[in-house]
Amino acid sequence: MTRTAAAFFATVGLLSASAALAADQAAPAKAPSAMTPTEINAHNEGLAPTDPAYIKCRKTLEIGSLVKKNRVCHTNEQWKEVSARGNQNARDTAEAMTSKAGNSN
């Protein structure tokens, strides 16, 4: 085995080990929105803000209220999925609207 192949396999082994460590810490005990700020801070301790398991919260306005806000918390990975799902829904809606507009003569 050449040196580069050995280095490659050693790197893959290290990456696999670090991924297993991250997977252990990645799963919060309960849903992030149900966690208290103290629990979220404890979960995020030692994680980089860009880590997929890092929990971020956003406040959303409740429709029909001038002051009430809801706190929505997800991991970075979940926020990425929520964003992708919303973008796909918007593309599907725009596509449906343009295909219907072209058929009405």
H helix intervals, 27-75: 37-44
Q: Which residue has the tokens 């670090």?
A: 18
* Domain regions of the chain by residue span: 33-105
**Phi-psi region at 30: left, alpha or beta (left = phi > 0; alpha = psi -120 to 50):** beta
pLDDT value, residue 105: 52
The answer to whether residues 69 and 59 touch, using CB atoms and an 8 Å cutoff, is yes
**Cα-Cα-Cα-Cα dihedral of 93, 99, 103, 105, to 10°?**
80
* Confidence band, pLDDT 50/70/90 cuts, at residue 100: confident
- Tens of pLDDT, residues 51-81: 999 999 999 999 999 999 999 999 999 999 9
The answer to whether residues 62 and 70 touch, using CB atoms and an 8 Å cutoff, is yes
Kindly tell me if the per-residue pLDDT of 7 is higher than 50: no
Q: Structure pTM? A: 0.64
pLDDT value, residue 49: 96
